[in-house]
């Protein structure tokens, strides 16, 4: 029997979202395959977050469909699921790493509880086992074991992001959404976090959809890239191809602007 590697994990069909009269994103189409990292790039207001929120069912789009291949190999239309089913997906099969740790962590409960909570939501009740798994994940994200009982509000920004990653990956998700996960961090902290994400993605074979305005982040992490402008996808393809040989004037401008910043 063929494994599902050759079939898309996510199929996005003509997705559009309007906030009243105001365009969020329009006619977005793409497939995401297992183990693939897709970066969505574009300037502020181009529709990246709207699209990510639609894909993760936090917004129900005005139009279009998204099909998700579940663990049994069946394709579910996300927007025909009940809210309870969507919530279960978000807690189990999916992860969501937010730009601001305060949106993705509980800042006043311990690091261990932040990681263990997702396991408990899945029905795990064995305290010792949950703590061991949490310790294991803290080690994977390079947080010292003796910080397990400390609350993330006492952590640095980089540590908080690493903890957020542990909290999301502990349930062994198949698809992780990331919204500017390195935004607002110092360059050296950013580099360490990107390195960690890259390592975990390859070790765990994760599929990732990452929103970033930073083309260097997209270049480092993604296999494929989608460039958005005014709510529409104006260019997509393999990351190296798009960044080395952009066809659209807007993408050329984005690429040359980072070259100028870097030079
Ligand atoms: N809640 C909302 N109500 C009305 N319009 C909105 C809302 N959220 C976003 N928009 C509009 O939708 C468009 C796309 O915004 P979106 O936040 O998706 O862009 P973005 O590329 O993620 O920008 P940024 O990088 O600044 O987060 C923008 O014109 C924005 O003003």
Q: Is 194 within a domain?
A: no
For the chain, state the CA radius of gyration.
19
Q: What's 15's DSSP letter? A: E
Domains in the chain, number: 1
Q: Which of the listed residues 21, 26, 46 should we mutate to test ligand 1's pocket, taking the one with most ligand atoms within 8 A of CB? A: 46
Determine what percent of the chain falls in helix, strand and coil, rounding each to the nearest 5.
45, 25, 30
* Distance of alpha carbon 43 from alpha carbon 215, whole angstroms: 11
Q: Is 143 within a domain?
A: yes
Residues in the chain: 263
- Per residue of the chain (263 residues), what is the pLDDT tens digit? 445 678 999 999 999 999 999 999 999 999 999 999 999 999 899 999 999 999 999 999 999 999 999 999 999 999 999 999 999 899 889 999 999 999 999 999 999 999 999 898 888 888 899 999 999 999 999 999 999 999 999 999 999 999 999 999 999 999 999 999 998 888 888 898 899 999 999 999 999 999 998 999 999 999 999 999 999 999 999 999 999 999 999 999 989 887 554 44
Q: Are 133 and 115 in contact (CB under 8 A)?
A: yes
Q: Which of the listed residues 18, 40, 50 should we mutate to test ligand 1's pocket, taking the one with most ligand atoms within 8 A of CB? A: 50
Residue 118's domain comprises: 94-172
Is the minimum distance from the CB of 48 to ligand 1 under 6 angstroms? yes
What is each CA distance from 201 to 56, 88, 223, in whole angstroms?
19, 22, 12
Q: Is 164 within a domain?
A: yes
Q: Is 155 within a domain?
A: yes
φ, ψ for residue 29 (rounded to 5)? Answer: -135, 130
Does the global pTM surpass 0.80? yes
Bridge pairing between strands 207-211 and 37-41: parallel
Q: Is 220 within a domain?
A: no
The tokens for 51 are 């699209």
Q: Is 65 within a domain?
A: no
Q: Is 254 within a domain?
A: no
Quick count: other Cβ atoms within 10 Å of Cβ 203?
Answer: 9
Q: Which residue's alpha carbon is at the smallest distance from atom 9 of ligand 1?
A: 24
Q: Is 205 within a domain?
A: no
Q: Are 97 and 179 in contact (CB under 8 A)?
A: yes
């Amino acid at each position: 029997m063929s494994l599902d590697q050759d079939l898309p994990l996510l199929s996005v069909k003509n997705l559009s979202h309007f906030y009243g009269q105001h365009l969020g994103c329009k006619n977005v189409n793409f497939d995401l395959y297992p183990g693939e990292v897709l970066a969505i790039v574009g300037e502020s207001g181009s529709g990246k977050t709207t699209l990510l929120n639609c894909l993760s069912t936090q917004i129900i789009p005005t139009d279009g469909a998204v099909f998700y291949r579940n663990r049994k190999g069946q394709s579910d239309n996300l927007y025909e699921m009940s809210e309870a089913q969507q919530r279960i997906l978000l807690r189990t099969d999916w992860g969501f790493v937010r730009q601001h740790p305060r949106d993705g962590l509980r800042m006043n409960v311990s690091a261990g509880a932040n990681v263990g909570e997702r396991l408990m939501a899945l029905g795990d009740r064995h305290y010792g086992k949950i703590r061991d798994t949490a310790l294991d994940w803290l080690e994977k994200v390079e947080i010292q074991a003796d910080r397990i009982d400390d609350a993330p509000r006492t952590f640095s920004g980089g540590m908080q992001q690493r903890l957020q990653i542990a909290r999301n990956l502990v349930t062994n998700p198949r698809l992780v959404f990331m919204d500017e996960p390195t935004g607002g961090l110092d360059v050296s902290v950013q580099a360490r976090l990107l390195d960690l994400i890259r390592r975990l993605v390859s070790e765990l074979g994760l599929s990732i959809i990452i929103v970033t305005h930073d083309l260097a982040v997209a270049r480092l992490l993604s296999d494929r890239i989608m460039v958005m402008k005014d709510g529409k996808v104006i260019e997509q393809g393999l990351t190296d191809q798009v960044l080395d040989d952009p066809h659209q004037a807007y993408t050329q401008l984005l690429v040359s602007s980072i070259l100028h910043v870097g030079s």
